[in-house]
Amino acid sequence: MNIDKLAAENVSEVVSELPKAINQELMSNPDNFYKMAFEFQQIMMIYESAIKQIETKLDILNKENKVSGRRNPIETVKSRIKSPQSIASKLEKKKLPVSFDSMIDNLHDIAGVRVICPYISDIYTVRDILLKQPDITLLEEKDYIKAPKESGYRSLHLVIEIPVYLSESTHNVKVEIQLRTIAMDFWASLEHELHYKTNTKVPESVRRELFRVAETIAMTDREMEEIAIELQNLD
């Protein structure tokens, strides 16, 4: 069977995370391994295509605002596909089967797009524009701006479904979209790095300090938007 080498390398990461008995069976049977590699490559291609569609929609919005002379509500757009290790780990944490069907049915954030906006109001502007589009279906929404997490984390999370059209089939694909201000993204990125770099439990004093910083950043966000509105009214 002629299988792309990269696909085989990628799927080997998934295989290594499978229960030992299944892993041994796959590795002892090359046909099963190559079949799994091909299926994994196909699935990831579909998720990547869904991300491209969201990115294209946001790029069109950027260009429309530029041509019309309006202020752009989008600063930057980032995207990512979950790694095989992360997919397997999340399924195991949820006590779900580690399989392709299980990850497609149960995980909403395999494909992720992060939209960074200048101001808080821009977040809701971009949200509304995206959800007005007929090929986007909202499955879930969590507003951590109006109701921040205990840590102080703020962001608007959308889980949407978008169709990906292939030559002979159509797939409705889930994509998680996170919308944040520049300040929210700054805090979340550093907070994630601090947790990632330490294997010990974060002391309560550090948690309180992180929360205080998150509150300060949130206040700065609101004040900057008020200044921007005031300046716009002077025009």
> In this structure, how many other beta carbons lie within 10 angstroms of the beta carbon of residue 141?
13
CA 59-224-154 angle, to 5 degrees, is 70
- Please provide the DSSP assignment of 151-182 as one string: T----EEEEEEEEEE-SS-EEEEEEEEEEEEH
Gap between the Cα atoms of 140 and 31, Å rounded:
39
73 CB-near residues (< 8 Å, 6+ apart): 61, 65, 117, 118, 119, 122, 125, 126
Residue 176 annotated among the catalytic residues of the structure = yes
Distance, CA of 112 to chain centre: 2
Question: Which of these is catalytic: 168, 176, 226, 230?
Answer: 176
Question: Which residues are the active-site residues?
Answer: 176
